[in-house]
A and B are shown apart, each in its own frame.
Chain A
Amino acid sequence: MFVRLVYESFRRQTRRKMLVAVAVTLGAAASTAMIAIATGIGDKISHEFRNYGANLVVIPDEDTLDVQIGSVNLKPSANGAYLEESALPKIKGIFWSNNITAFAPELPVNATLAGRDVTLLGTYFSKSLTFGKETFTTGAPATFPWWKVEGAWPSDDSTDVLVGERLASRIGAHPGSQIQISGVPHRVSGILSTGAGEDGQIVAPLSLAQSLTGRPGLLRSIYVSALLKPEDAFARRDPDTLSPADRDRWYCSPYPQSIAFQLQEAIPHSHAEQIRRVAQNEGNILSRIEGLMLLITIAALLTSGLAVSAAMATAMFERRTEVGLMKALGAGYFTLSMIFLTESVLLAVAGGLAGFAIGAVLAQQLGRTIFGSQIAVAPVLLPVVLAIAIGVTFGGSAVAIRRAVKYDPVLALRGEA
């Protein structure tokens, strides 16, 4: 009898049920999309921040001072400590290797060009490295996305070079021309523009820089671009003073400090640290944006909750005559409440499921159009959204149901309630 009552209610009042179901579906869709966006935005924006380039740097442990003003490196290239090029693939072997989006080694050496001292910077452009079974390609264009080249990037095994735009306009170099670097002719494959010191330098494949100094297999520093979690008080603690459990948690969080620590472990005799200009500001803005989306999501949940409640309450008011009739036929408070609550739960589940599907599609579409990659909707979100939908429809109908069951059947049936 109970099942039949509920079934008939859905069959005979399809229009009313549809209106409520549409409201619930929309609410659930907006909630799903917003929760998915709020949880996914940190990751997406973090990727966008990689446009700021490297946020970690690895230098030799043995301290040497850079003596560089603007684009001029005044340090004789003979002395100082170096890192081993052969250790580079190990960067992809660290715990957070998936968070490392790109890296580039650098070796500045002094060279002479047209009778003047210039700095020649050796680096990778599009170098394939193998770690274990994994092969990956990295280099300066991926690490410093704002570097622009007029012409072509040199290949890593060639002796072609890039000339910074300021230097190029001084010596009149252009893509395809030949220049004499320390007496040896090299082809200029392109003109580099970075808006920074490299504009006054020559940028060349790492192997060329190494052969100029006679130091094969060595490099000065590694710039690493990694997806980081904003630094907090826990991140700043010294890992050596942490308890084993805390230390594991520290090690397994992508904080700037812990990834630097892991890089230091991977590269022998090295010291890794965050480039504060990028890492700190990135962390700050990331937490701001995440916080903003979180607050907006809460506001969105409240909005859809209230809006669905209002729709639900109106739908309930419509049914006073029905309630009056049932009461006149002897239905008690409990039976009536059960019928209406069952109906709302059914509506909530149906609307919640449909809304979840729509919301997931919306979130993915948004991810694809704005960020060019999908925003994953975690399956664990489904029970959450369903629970919210049930809670909201319950809340919306509860007040109306309470009032409905209190109606005097006579007044309700006469339409005077």
Chain B
Amino acid sequence: MRRGSKAGMYFRMLYRAAMLRKGQAASALTAIVVAAAAATAMLNLYLDVQTKLQREFRNFGANIILQTKAGEHFTSEDLQTVRDIVGNRGPVVPFAYTVARAANDQPIVVAGTDFTLVRKLDPWWSVSAWPKGDGEALVGVRAARALGASPFILSLHGRDIHFQLAGTVQTGAGEDSRIYVSLEDLHSWAGIEPSVIEVAASGSSADVASLLHQLQQSLPAVDVHAVRQVTEGEANVLGKTRSTLLSSAAFIVCTAALCVLATLVGWVFDRRRDFAIMKALGASDRLIAVFVAGEAVVLACVGANVGFVAGVGIASLIGRVNFNAPVSARLDILPVVLVGCLVVTLLSTLLPLRLLRRIEPAMILRGE
């Protein structure tokens, strides 16, 4: 007999076995596809959620603050150094502070900053309208009540300046008592330069720590510190969410895998008459095992690939619904899912086959 026809016979048997029991083959395949899809979706989400949530956590604002010593200020080279080090990892926002006096001689903190950057840094600010041009100020709600009508006059070291009130800001914290103007306005009015730089750096806590170290190295004269409230809180919430997700993923994948096991074990037991006939016709135990294993491999490969596609779809759907951003498909999950499927299908077909091997074909064919 030629080798080709032997292999041909093998595939014919696999094909016919699937075709003759379409329903059972389909339900076995369904179980595997579902398990593979669940595993893919959960792994994909687990790997992606960290990045997604970290982006959300950056809305908490600055996690690194650079502060000059009293009486000193950041030069534009210093600011550029910080920007170069941080790169595109998040906004770098300079702040300049001084205390001016309002018309009623009330002392009030005036802060100079870059409004487009602050919007990115502190998205929780509830702002009625952002300043657009020179001479416009963003006034804290408490400061606004103390100042009265717009335009208002502020004086510093005997120099008065008029500011137009562009809008108010409410945060429930120190910002409510301050007046925010542009850095240029503050500089031309009082010659005040930035003394604080706030950085909202993205990435894991290790990334942020290394960035902090880098900044400390390149600006030794400056006090660089992490905002512990933000960094520690984030690590906590993120870690626990990931653990929950991982446990949930384990539950779901185990359930689906065990259901595959139950389905395939039932299937193999159901076909004991077929195996008995094959044995009666002269097939060795080994040949039957190879035949069943072949089936299992085909099922696993088809199931894993279809399931992978479905799982990526589910993960990206969840990403879009929940985070308004698709979860990127990770091809490196495919081999993991494929191997998992192969292990589960081979286990759940070859184990029951071993049990059947002990039984004489005659007994099975008699229906005992």
Contacts and interface: CB of A to CB of B under 8 A. Distances in A.
B233 A299 contact: no
Given A273-B172, A403-B23, A308 B259 contact: yes
A91 B236 CA distance: 27
Contacts of A69: 97, 99, 109
A292 B251 CA distance: 16
A284 B259 contact: no
B56 interface: yes
Interface string B52-87: 110011011100000100000000000000000000
| Interface band, chain B | 35 or more
Interface stretch (A132-140, A152-160, A311-319): A311-319
A339 B20 CA distance: 27
Contact of B145 (A63, A68, A74): A63
Contacts of B145: 63
Nearest to A38: B248
Contact of A65 (B49, B142, B273): B142
A228 to B, nearest CB: 13
A178 interface: no
A20 interface: yes
Contacts of B302: none
Contacts of B27: 309-310, 313-314, 317
B24 A277 contact: no
B255 A51 contact: no
Given A277-B122, A292-B318, A310 B229 contact: no
B232 to A, nearest CB: 5
B269 A318 contact: yes
Contacts of A295: 318, 321-322
Interface string B237-251: 100110111011001
Contact of A63 (B99, B142, B248, B267): B142
B321 A277 contact: no
A306 interface: yes
B106 interface: yes
Contacts of B143: 65
B266 A311 contact: yes
B270 interface: yes
A70 B196 contact: yes
A288 B265 contact: no
Nearest to B225: A195
A317 B233 contact: no
Contact of B248 (A34, A68, A291): A34
Contacts of A247: none
B56 A288 contact: yes
B241 A289 contact: yes
Given A70-B196, A284-B59, A314-B262, 13 more contacts: A16-B269, A30-B252, A33-B248, A75-B107, A146-B233, A273-B170, A276-B124, A276-B172, A296-B45, A296-B318, A304-B255, A307-B255, A314-B27
28 contacts: A15-B269, A27-B255, A30-B252, A37-B244, A45-B237, A48-B233, A52-B229, A63-B146, A65-B108, A66-B174, A69-B99, A70-B97, A146-B232, A146-B233, A195-B231, A275-B172, A288-B56, A291-B322, A292-B323, A293-B244, A300-B248, A304-B252, A310-B31, A310-B259, A311-B266, A313-B23, A313-B24, A403-B23
Interface of B: 21, 23-24, 27-28, 30-31, 34-35, 37-38, 41-42, 45, 49, 52-53, 56-57, 59-61, 67, 97, 99, 106-109, 122, 124-126, 142-143, 145-146, 170-174, 177, 196, 223, 225-233, 236-237, 240-241, 243-245, 247-248, 251-252, 254-256, 258-260, 262-263, 265-267, 269-270, 273, 314, 318, 321-323
Interface of A: 15-16, 19-20, 22-23, 26-27, 29-30, 33-34, 37, 41, 44-45, 48-49, 51-53, 56-57, 63, 65-70, 74-75, 144-146, 148, 166, 193-196, 199, 273-281, 284-285, 288-289, 291-293, 295-296, 299-300, 303-304, 306-311, 313-315, 317-318, 362, 366, 369-371, 400, 403, 415
